[in-house]
A and B are shown apart, each in its own frame.
Chain A
Amino acid sequence: MNNQLKNTRRVAQFILTSTIVLMTFNNCSQPLHTLKDSSRELSQDIAFKCSDQQNSSKTTNYILSKTQYQNTLEDLFGAGGLSAVAVPLSALAGDSNNADDNKRLTTISSSQAISYYDIASTLATYIVANNTRITNVFGSCAAGASPSASCIDGYLNGFAQRILRRPLTVSEISFAKNQIMMTSGTYKENLKALLTYHLISPAFLWTLEQGTLNSSGARLALTPYEVATRLAYLITDSTPDPTLLAAAADTTILTPPGLQQQVQRLIQSPRGKTKIINSLLRWSLSDQANDVTSLPAPLLNGVSTSGLQAAMLAEVRTFVDHILYTQNGTLQDLLTSKLSFASHPGLASIYGHTPITGVDPATVSERRQGLLMKAPFYTWSTPRTNIIMRGVQFQKRVLCNEIPLPNVDLVDDRDAHVLTDAELLMVTNRAAITYQTDTPLCMSCHSTINPTGFAFENLDSLGRIRSQEMIFDKSNNFAQSLPVHTSTAIPLGINQGDLPVADSYDFITNLANSPRAAACVTRNFYRAFYEKKETPEDDCQLQNSFDITKESQRPLLESIEKIFTSTAIYYKEI
């Protein structure tokens, strides 16, 4: 009895305190245009400091990722070739990148090497089994009854250059002509061996750059073919196409206009488009959605969850595609556009419009805007939103702020300090998290995490705008509705002060008008394309891009272009 009384008093005190705190936050909210961070000057601590346009961080030449490898095989041998190697390809390990900075984690192992060999051998067998395919790869003379000795020259000066992404060396030609093609096997057997060799050659599997060393031995000037290869894999995740190889062959790729022309072309290519859209979806945390099928019916309120996850991901992709490639839009457009392409009835309901039936977009409801308020990131499998995850991820990915991993003791303390089930029925999620993390040690990080998450409390676990939070017990029985409070002051980073906002809409409006998001999206472009974290040595590349991104009138694609047209693209630091 005493305990019950104590608990009741504890909850009453807590609710009172929380209410006072929330009222205080409400009083602090200010009109957008007065906010501290709306200046177009980038704060000193996140500014880029460009000194040497040739400079870049140390470069690792990766083995092709599985995505790059598959794209390359498809671009070289068509869908039929890719299909022919489906079985050995399935045994090849998938790509693995660090969640925070996208650094490539996977490299080559013995089992992968064996897979590469199996794939190469299978593909070569597939090619030589059919005269049409032989003609496509080796030339029509190779499909004839008795090919001449010079027939193989057509391949070595043609398709083999596409595979290796450069002309073959003298020793490579000699090995092909004087050893492989001179064995006692049938002509087709020898063709198969030659193709297998090229497909497991380091010159094919590895984008190793071996240009010309400078006098200090620390910087390589790339060959035109290496520049072409670098551009192709950075922008399109695939091998250089014939046009790009031609620009390498005539060295126009080494001139600023020639380089710009190729970069613009690749950015507009289907694979370039896919990679650029993926990079923005990753930055905006919209590249995955959680399963919402177990949310209670009162919360779903008639929203059909069948196919909803897929519809959310498809819609956000269409949205980015539209802003970037149809509108040639700016970052500000991306963050503030109210367009929606939701044709799924459930998603359309979440976005507050009737499902679209054609290609023309609809408009989302009033307090939602842009990429950062699309539903996928906010979805969660429980009625209580994941405030902490939202806060951490948004700070790290969208704002590029460091949030250290918590000490296990701290996590344990935090997770032990929770309201009882009965108490949880009486408070909002925000209040529960505030209680759970109110120790000084917890607040060393949660003072940043929580306010960021609180601002998004106007989005429920479906990613739907709300003003009331529906409270459920552990068995998902509805208990009551409580008003959500979203006003908060969001810390912007070390020495950056706090940004008072009324809700997430307010927050996004501010980001769209400040250089902060522009700086971070620039960094994320770099991470997406280079698969590593930028360093101060990369500041010139970043600065060139950022100068465009932050301008409200310059298309975002132009800023991406600047990453690749920097002088640094011609060099490798070792």
Chain B
Amino acid sequence: MKKNKQQIKDRFTSRRQFLAGAGTFLTLPPLLSLMPRTVAAQVGAQKKVRSVIYAGFLGIDQHQLVLTANPGFTTHPGSVYTNYKQLNTISGQFSRMIDSSFVGMYPHMNIIKGLSLCGGQYQGHNNSILSGTHSGGRTPIYGKSIDVIMEQSANVYPAVDNVPYKALRIGGDAFSFDRVGGTAINSSYLQGDTALFNKVFAGLTGGPVIVPQQQQTNSKLVVDQVYNDLKSLEGSTKLSGEDRTILNRFIAGIYDVQKKVQATNSGTSKTCSKPTLPLDANATGNSYQFPFDPGWGVQSTSVVFDNYIEMIRLAFECDLTRVVVIQNSIWSDLPVSPTSSGGLHHECASSELAADRHQWGLKKMLKLAQNLQATSDPQGGTLLDNSTILFTNELGAWTTSHNVFSLPAVMFGGGGGLFKTGYYVDYSQLNRPNWKGVGFTPGRPYKQLLQSIMSSMGVPKSEYMQFGDGNGFGEFKEDISQFNKSDPGVFSAYRNEHNDLLPFLVS
């Protein structure tokens, strides 16, 4: 030992050797596998990580999606109520909704049970689920949905990246919302595959967009002037409160136009080809009814949806966007049943039918995951490695209970290395089975899942903490008090960690 030390000490290092070595160290990126996972996540955030969220209306009965019995869990040490099982060690069909077609995707997905909204209630619709709050089906009180947070984050979209569409939203208009001046404002959604195509791809010419120098100059001059016109109104005393909200949003919008013009001028437009898809020109829909009803003139919802999938894959590959939200209120292109005007809610004939209709959407996300997995990412790995796809729903039970204790959550993709994949994880509080006789079990704050997705995209804790009830992202109450069922401290176990990421899956 002594001799070795001496050898090292006595070795002569030339100035040239030192500089070469230092230069190599500074140039080569550190290996992710050698870093703690949280550090790797930060490095991952510098990658182009993408997020797809598929949110469905109304409920899925828990037993249709996840296991009801303990499959032989391993308990994760160091965090309460965290049990897991590797998916490929579970034999037989996992559940009605997770059938054999998912098996090939097991290594790249997670099925999560036992995530709860902690808003002091155990029931109620949740337009605001993507903000981690419990709206009770009405206007959300706190925060913003995570797609909006990611869309607006400079950590997700550094200015130098010049991504033209910060978020693409398809379907309805309830789950995604911004908040301006204390008011929740629903986001706009695209309806139909033609609208998505026109938005993202119609302007592509198959190669870099060459903009004449004069046009660049004029475009910048014009947009800068509009921005100045708007900014000059900020000091006006003639605006009502709502006028001022509109002004702020207008300014933010024109700022994005400025960035788009700047990106075009700097020659950083992507080299992408237009997809050739059999678009359904008639597919429109509205906020309540996804393209489905023959009355909307949709040829085939399945074809429309497959077109969405292909366009999302291409948009990710070309870095045209990194955030996609799909809101679906109807789940298949089956004919309207004689007893139902579209299979909504209380009119839906059975738990099984509801599960089948939700499964339709889940399988579309499976297809998207397969397509992303089959596409190489120029950064390394596959597109799925550097993405997350979350299939979720506003309710954890079909029709009657409107339960928010076990919200559906199926994830695909590794989120740029932040998420372990290949697991069934149960976060339920197993010491409280059939809580208060309602047939459900409370669990870990759902918002931790959303925080984890935001983190994978590069949103730091200090940023997402700003959007919620004042104590962190979303909403966290330790107690439940609703419909004469009071339970002080049911979520107290999460008091010190509800603003953190999910244990085990992100460690």
Contacts of B237 in A (CB 8 A): 213, 217
Asked if B339 contacts A184 (CB within 8 A), the reply is: no
Q: In the complex, what's the smallest C-beta–C-beta distance from A409 to chain B, in angstroms?
A: 6
Task: Note all chain B residues with C-beta closer than 8 A to A516.
Answer: none
A186 adjacent to chain B (CB < 8 Å): yes
Q: Does B125 sit at the interface, judged by CB under 8 A?
A: yes
In the bound complex, CA of A73 to CA of B217 (Å): 26
Most chain A CB atoms below 10 A, which of B124, B189, B229, B483: B229
Q: Is the CB of B257 within 8 A of A114?
A: yes
If A111-B188, A186-B214 touch, does A416 touch B400 (CB 8 Å cutoff)? yes
1/0 per residue, CB under 8 A from B, across A391-429: the answer is: 000000000000001001101100110000000000000
A268 to nearest B CB, angstroms? 32
B188 in contact with A290 (CB, 8 Å): no
B346–A114 CB distance below 8 A: no
Assuming the contacts A197-B222, A202-B230, A210-B236, asked whether A114 and B198 have C-beta atoms less than 8 A apart, the reply is no
Q: Name the CB-closest residue of B to A88.
A: B198
How big is chain A's contact interface, by range?
35 or more
Q: Which of A58-100 contact B (CB under 8 A)?
A: 58-63, 87-88, 90-91, 93-94, 96
Residues of A within 8 A of B138 (CB): 405
The reply to whether B187 and A109 form a contact with Cβ atoms under 8 Å apart is yes
CB < 8 Å neighbour of A415 from B243, B246, B340, B346: B346
Contact at A109–B253, with CB atoms within 8 Å?
Answer: yes
Contacts of A405 on B, CB cut-off 8 Å?
138
- 1/0 contact trace for B190-232 toward A, CB 8 Å? 1100110011001100000000001101110111011001100
- Give B279 Cβ to nearest chain A Cβ, in Å: 11
Residues on the B chain within 8 Å of A94, using CB: 191
Q: Does B240 contact A574, Cβ atoms closer than 8 Å?
A: yes
* Complex Cα spacing A408 to B394, Å: 14
A60 and B240 contact, CB distance less than 8 A: yes
Judge if A255 is at the interface, Cβ distance under 8 Å. Answer: no
Docked CA distance A202–B195 (Å):
25
Determine the chain B residues whose CB is within 8 A of the CB of A168 once the complex forms: none
Q: Are B254 and A113 in contact (CB under 8 A)?
A: yes
Distance in Å from the Cβ of B148 to the closest Cβ of chain A? 10
Report how far A217 CA is from B238 CA in the complex, Å.
8
Tell me if A382 is interfacial: C-beta within 8 Å of chain B: yes
Q: In the assembled complex, how far is the CB of residue B34 from the closest CB belonging to chain A, in whole angstroms? A: 39
Please give the distance in Å from A111's CB to the nearest CB on chain B: 6
Flag if A200 contacts B226 (CB, 8 Å): yes
Cα distance, A217 to B198, chains bound together (Å) = 45
Q: B188, A381: Cβ atoms under 8 Å? A: no
B294 A291 Cβ-Cβ under 8 A: yes
Q: How far is the CB of A172 from chain B (nearest CB, A)?
A: 9
Total residues of chain B contacting the partner, CB 8 A:
74
Pair count A-B, CB < 8 A: 186
A190 within 8 A of B: yes
**A179 touches which one: B123, B221, B255, B295 (CB < 8 A)?**
B221
Whether the Cβ atoms of B250 and A180 lie closer than 8 Å is no
Q: Is B402 an interface residue (CB 8 A)?
A: yes
Instruction: Tell me if A63 and B250 are in contact (CB < 8 A).
Output: yes
Is B161 an interface position by the 8 A CB rule?
Answer: no
- Judged by a CB distance under 8 angstroms, whether A260 is at the interface is no
* CB atoms of A210 and B257 under 8 A apart: no
Q: Check if B253 sits within 8 Å of A61, measured CB to CB.
A: no
B293 at the interface (CB under 8 A from A): yes
Contact between B222 and A220, CB atoms less than 8 A apart:
no
* A94-B191, A105-B186, A109-B188 known; A62 vs B218 contact (CB < 8 Å): no
Q: How far is the CB of A183 from chain B (nearest CB, A)?
A: 6
Q: Choose among A110, A118, A184, A408 the residue that contacts B137 (Cβ–Cβ < 8 A).
A: A408
A474 is an interface residue with CB less than 8 A from chain B:
yes
A574–B221 contact, CB under 8 A?
Answer: no
Q: Contact: A197 with B238, CB < 8 Å?
A: no
Say whether A108 contacts B338, CB under 8 Å: no
From B252, B294, B339, B346, contact of A110 by CB (8 A)? B252
| Residue B287 CB within 8 A of the other chain | yes
In the complex, the answer to whether B123 meets A381 with C-beta atoms within 8 Å is: no
Shortest beta-carbon distance from A306 to chain B in Å: 13
Given contacts A115-B199, A200-B226, 15 further A-B contacts (CB under 8 A): A63-B246, A106-B186, A107-B185, A113-B253, A114-B256, A183-B218, A185-B218, A193-B222, A200-B254, A202-B233, A211-B238, A296-B338, A380-B341, A409-B483, A416-B400
15 contacts between A and B (CB under 8 A): A58-B240, A58-B242, A60-B246, A63-B246, A90-B195, A94-B191, A111-B167, A113-B252, A113-B254, A179-B225, A208-B239, A217-B237, A220-B238, A294-B336, A411-B346
Smallest CB-CB A-B distances: 5 pairs: A113-B253, A93-B188, A193-B218, A185-B214, A91-B199
What residues make up the interface of B, taking CB atoms closer than 8 Å to A? 123-125, 137-138, 151, 164-167, 173, 178, 185-191, 194-195, 198-199, 202-203, 214-215, 217-219, 221-223, 225-226, 229-230, 233, 236-243, 245-246, 249-250, 252-257, 260-261, 287, 293-295, 335-336, 338-341, 346, 399-402, 483
